Amino acid sequence: MTENVWLTITGEQTQPDGSHEKNTTKSRARHVVDADGTHELYFHEEINGVEEPVENRVTIASHRITVEKTGKLNTNLVLENGRTNACLYETPYGSFSMDIVTTNVACLEVGERVHARAKYQLHMEGEYCVDCAVTIRIDPMTSG
């Protein structure tokens, strides 16, 4: 597998009133594949209002996606097929307790490319908030 890759992450949120929001980021990332076939991606993220870049580590396995952020923002989001996982989202403005109720995780590998998707519900402070989906695409640098 190629170590230097383009990482494209698309997040989607559907509010209870039906309104829909979608955002996409594309970053250069370092890609490592563990002995068990888990994909690990490391990259920096510039976030508005946060003076230092946030360090990110994304892991993708057939049944699980994790997103770890460290720096001025800290979280360890675990999306695991059919499971509910708690996480704490820490920002310079305060911390938020979240439960992630994952309904589906899928991963497809074709040659040097990887495409993963998860669907989940976000519950904050014990209350349902929003339906979410995340799509993660890994492409070799040579593909633009």
- Long-range pairs, 72-75, Cβ under 8 A, ≥24: 72/47, 73/47
The two three-digit tokens of residue 20, written as one number: 């829909």
Structural domains for the chain: 4-143 (2.40.128.20)
Q: How far is Cα 6 from Cα 135, in angstroms, rounded to an integer? A: 14
Q: Is this model's pTM higher than 0.85 or not?
A: yes
Q: What pLDDT is stored for residue 13 in this prediction?
A: 96
Q: What pLDDT is stored for residue 74 in this prediction?
A: 86
Q: What pLDDT is stored for residue 144 in this prediction?
A: 47
Q: What pLDDT is stored for residue 94 in this prediction?
A: 84
Classify residue 2 by its DSSP letter.
-
Written as tens digits, the pLDDT of the chain (144 aa) is 669 999 999 999 999 999 999 999 999 999 999 999 999 999 998 777 767 888 999 999 989 999 999 988 888 999 999 999 999 888 778 888 899 999 999 999 998 999 999 999 999 878 899 999 999 999 999 744
Q: How far is Cα 116 from Cα 64, in angstroms, rounded to an integer? A: 10
